[in-house]
Amino acid sequence: MSAGAGVLFNSLEFALFLPVVLGLYWLLPLRGQNVLLLLASYVFYGAWDARFLSLIFISTLVDFVVGKKLGTVSDDRRRRTWFLASVVCQLGMLAFFKYFGFFVDSAVRLVSWVGLDVHPPLFEVLLPVGISFYTFQTMSYIFDVYRRRIEPTSDFVTFATFVAYFPQLVAGPIERARNLLPQIEDERRRPDGDAVRSGLLLMLVGLFKKVAVADAVAPFVADAFSGDAGRGMLLLGMLAFSLQIYGDFAGYTDIARGASRLFGIELMRNFRQPYLARSITEFWRTWHISLSAWLHDYLYVPLGGNKRGRLATYRNLVLTMLLGGLWHGANWTFVVWGGLHGLLLAGHRLLGGYVPRDKLSPLRWRDAPAILLTFASVTVLWIFFRADSMGAALDYLGGLATRPWGVVDFDAAVIVLFSAAAVLLLDLAQRLTDDDVVILRWPAAVRGASVALLVVAIAVWTGGTAQPFIYFQF
């Protein structure tokens, strides 16, 4: 269970919060700017539930102290002890607040299978918003300091700002210290006019993805996953959720990157048009890039990566994705979703598939079948991600195979197909130019018309209450 709504990117509160913080920010010198960012980040996070602030502060303090110790201690055994103390503390907090109920319920079901009747005491653990994101972010700092890839910071305000930086605090991207910390320390972080324009456009595009795509199709997703819909509406609901999860999460990332750019701080790209991927491996190179890179560097590689033979490589891929699925939530549906992705990745590797981590080859017309097959595979697996339980996921899959077609809601079909066309056109324009703000390159008339269409679409689909982002629950 998580707390109620805080300051949402798509809310009036954020529309007031951001300009106020920006206005104060540019009146201050570097040290004052960082103090302001830290205070603003704590206000932003505390708006969800002030009790959460104690957890993020403890997480920050532990790794600040451990980082300094790792920077001064030379004995490998003592360094390992400090490193393990940090890992146990961070993962311990994450496991308790996110997975306590899951572990207890799973244990009760397990012992019930052997005939034991157990009734553990019932109490509810409140899930802190964004705990998975900031835990992985601060852990990456400790990993890199321990491996001597970066020097630890000696300034607590700088490190605390790195952990709690509000544009990406709640749902990423999961930043690396070697990218974000130097920017927080940089006295020259002054965005020019191009940066401001691109930042504002990114925020507008993100709002469009969230409001005019994700929120627009959300009612049809809810209907498909909660009722006895026919096969036609189940197929439509499956497609709609692919659009919803992408528009919702990529929209959040665009807004986060755009808002951060206004502060002169550049966040990493978290999406590179993943629904244009030509294989499951390429999909995970372009979807939630910060998480897939984290899992690769801090889990897959330590497990042995692809250095210990084929069978070990396949095992490591599946284990990494199983844990990546569990990272998303305390439910067996996420574990199965991650495991199935791991099997697909292993299968692609078995067939000789390889995708460079940092460069995507140009799209060609002959790639269309591979893109459609990858998208179809990802879309089917999203059923496990969206379903409330394994039973519900299997019922949905069974309905796709056995239920009559039924009546397809015409309005729902039009909205979903419109959203799909909008996402496809935007993604193609961005992918072919490798530019998330390609609209700024277009002639003035086309640029103005495009911005106007985005604004009108947002205005049309904006409801009375801002809808939370899906990844806030993780």
Provide the token pair at 145.
């300091």
Q: What's the CA dihedral at 91, 96, 97, 101 to 10 degrees? A: 130
What mean pLDDT do residues 67-88 have?
93
Phi-psi region of 155 (alpha: psi -120 to 50; beta: other; left: phi over 0): beta
**Mean pLDDT across the stretch 292-315?**
89
**Rounded mean pLDDT of 177-183?**
93
How confident is the model at residue 217, as a pLDDT? 94
CA angle 328, 332, 334 (to 5 degrees): 30
pLDDT tens-place string over residues 362-393: 889 999 999 999 999 999 999 999 999 999 99
Q: What is the pLDDT of residue 107?
A: 54
- Please report the pLDDT score of residue 115 as a whole number: 56
What is the band of 274 on the pLDDT scale with cuts at 50, 70, 90?
A: very high
pLDDT band at 109 (very low <50, low <70, confident <90, very high): low
pLDDT tops 60 at residue 210: yes
pLDDT score for 137: 94
Q: What is the mean pLDDT of the chain?
A: 89
Give residue for tokens 């590179």.
272
Residue with tokens 């852990």: 139
Packing angle, helices 12-25 and 231-262, rounded to 10: 20
pLDDT band at 276 (very low <50, low <70, confident <90, very high): very high
Least confident of 212-216, 306-310, 353-357: 353-357
For helices 410-433 and 231-262, angle between their N-to-C axes, nearest 10 degrees: 40
354: pLDDT strictly greater than 70: no
Nearest CA-CA partner of 52 in 7, 22, 109 = 7
Q: Identify whether the C-beta of residue 320 lies closer than 8 Å to the C-beta of residue 295.
A: yes
Specify whether the CB–CB gap between 378 and 280 falls below 8 A: yes
Burial class, 173, CB count within 10 angstroms (exposed 0-12 / middle 13-18 / buried 19+) = buried
State the helix-helix crossing angle for 231-262 and 390-402, rounded to 10 degrees. 130
Q: What is the pLDDT of residue 227?
A: 77
Residue 1 scores a pLDDT above 50: no
Question: Per-residue pLDDT for 446 more than 60?
Answer: yes
**Residues 177, 170: contact at Cβ < 8 Å?**
no
Is residue 197 pLDDT above 90, yes or no?
A: yes
Do 214 and 458 contact (CB within 8 A), yes or no?
no
Question: Which of the four pLDDT bands, split at 50, 70 and 90, describes residue 122?
Answer: low
Does pLDDT of 175 surpass 60? yes
Distances in Å between the Cα of 448 and the Cα atoms of 172, 336, 425, 455 are 30, 45, 17, 11
**Which residues are known catalytic residues?**
328
State the pLDDT confidence band at 436, using cuts at 50, 70 and 90: very high
Q: Quick count: other Cβ atoms within 10 Å of Cβ 391?
A: 10
| Token reading at 454 | 């985005």
pLDDT higher for 171 or 237?
Answer: 237
pLDDT band at residue 101 using 50, 70 and 90 as cut-offs: low
pLDDT at 157 (0 to 100): 94
SS3 350: helix
Q: Which residue has the higher pLDDT, 347 or 472?
A: 347
Could you give the C-alpha distances from 391 to 106, 107, 111, 219, 232, in angstroms and in order? 15, 19, 20, 22, 21
Task: Render pLDDT for 19-66 as a digit per residue (tens, 0 to 9).
Answer: 999 999 999 988 889 999 999 999 999 888 888 899 999 999 999 999
Q: Is the pLDDT of residue 258 over 70?
A: yes
Give CA–CA dist 305/296, Å, rounded.
Answer: 8
Q: What is the pLDDT of residue 396?
A: 94
pLDDT confidence of residue 3: 46
Count the helices and strands in the chain (H runs, E runs): 19, 0
**Which pair of tokens denotes residue 302?**
């330590």
**CA 264 vs CA 190, 195, 198, 256, 290: distances in Å:** 5, 8, 12, 13, 20
Say what the pLDDT of residue 125 is.
60
Cα 185 to Cα 25, 65, 154, 158, distances in angstroms: 15, 19, 11, 7
* Token reading at 121: 């005491």
> Residue 417 corresponds to which tokens in the numbers above?
């197909």
Cα separation, 230 vs 409, whole angstroms: 11
Q: Do 31 and 186 meet the contact criterion of CB atoms below 8 Å apart?
A: no
- Return the minimum-mean-pLDDT range out of 287-291, 401-405, 466-470: 466-470
Only one residue has tokens 């069978």, namely 311
What pTM did the predictor assign?
0.92
| Burial label, 96 (beta-carbon count in 10 A; 0-12, 13-18, 19+) | exposed
Closest C-alpha to 171, from 328, 399, 294: 328
pLDDT at residue 358 in the model? 64
Report, as an integer, the average pLDDT of 257-284: 95
Residue 161 has pLDDT above 50, yes or no: yes
Give percent of the chain above pLDDT 90: 67
Do 229 and 223 contact (CB within 8 A), yes or no?
yes
Predicted confidence band at 111 (pLDDT cuts at 50, 70, 90)?
Answer: low
pLDDT score of 337 more than 60 = yes
More confident residue, 474 or 232: 232
The pLDDT of residue 366: 93
- Give the least confident one: 20-34, 348-362, 399-413, 417-431: 348-362
Q: Is the pLDDT of residue 138 over 80?
A: yes
Q: Compute the distance between CA of residue 145 and CA of residue 248 in angstroms, rounded to an integer.
A: 33
Question: What is the token pair recorded at 348?
Answer: 């692609």
> Cis ω on the peptide bond leading into residue 173 (within 30° of 0)?
yes
Enclosing H/E stretch for 164: helix 156-164
- Measure Cα distances from 108 to 104, 116, 287, 327 in Å: 6, 9, 35, 22
